[in-house]
Structure 1
């Protein structure tokens, strides 16, 4: 019987070891350009854990930002608005690789996560918030559920809300949360339009965004003055005007339909006020 050459035997053995080693490893998939399978870590290379999530640290010049705006809903509860910069919501990619500036948000009530947010707007039911003062926090997350962070701190924003008082058994229900300060209004006498004056400086809206109660069929005169070029849009009535720095933009119309309508800017994405037409 002819014996195999020693060198051939060594080569065959090495190939078998390599094949066995490869079979023992988990199957990997290709990932999108610019991502990897490395664990999320802080800048120093040590994982930081916030709650049940690790952070994914990026330089401050590349980090996204978020501002949480909370407004009472006309029916009940609150409407939350996440104003973001360098960030896009990607609900179709949840569970995938972490791509810079994309993902979703996590919502916390007094430090306890209560929801995931896949869009800039979210309605928070009154029943979800106990009576008393509470802190709402949103944190931006990558698709792989790591939290975006900069210098080891999560990208987040917080706001304080007052939970509604629960009515005792057999008594009338409590009122919804108080409505915040509303923009300056004038001329509510019969036949005179409701005047709403708003000023924009950078990302600051004066007075702070609130709600204006308007009777259905009444006339409205909206005057907006900004320090930069933009466009103001009255949703629901499909009215818009260009904003020129220092020159008031005036929109006059008849509130001939009931509902809740927002007034916002296009480029900067600022909510200026909400019109409640009854």
Structure 2
């Protein structure tokens, strides 16, 4: 009799254990949850999405820090339109536009862009082209994640700026990437890399500029003290007067990896990769 009375208790414990096992295996594979966007995996939504910083951009969007290696990058080019204004073109690297996922989780390499005209945010961009009316002086394109945070490298937004002037018809003006995200991949002829030196700080942080053999590149450097820029392998030097921008243009006619550094301070400014 004693063993017969104890049997129901064992069955109850077995059922409870089965219920616990059901709860354990449900997780992301069961009922849809709100921690990531439907259609994305739990792994995509929870790994590699960067570190959310306290810093914000001018519009109040928080920055999402990712390593420079593998970070998204953008270049912007503005072409005058025959009916007035400018046609702005975005060239992105390691990034794709995902308008269908806006409001979802921050997933590396996805999102949208915001267009700033003369420093003021004007619209979102879900593709590579946009028209800007006449009268604008500068356009800035900034890359955002699906959750509206700003992709950032070294505490600065991933963005590019182009200054708009009054070029002759058929010409264009290009903006180089900022925030340490010099875009690799297919290079642009006549590209300019802008670098600022303050003490031992280099902005954007040193990264690689990829070029095809025969391309030209202009290094535009502003240093807070007198120094000399040296491009290894090309044996090109450029005096850097304190507080004034200086430019050096060279044709990438040699293949390999070439460091650009300063003599007095011994700072590495960037690396040129010529293929």
- Normalising by structure 1, we get a TM-score of 0.46
Higher helix proportion: 2
> Which structure has the larger Rg?
1
- Normalising by structure 2, we get a TM-score of 0.46
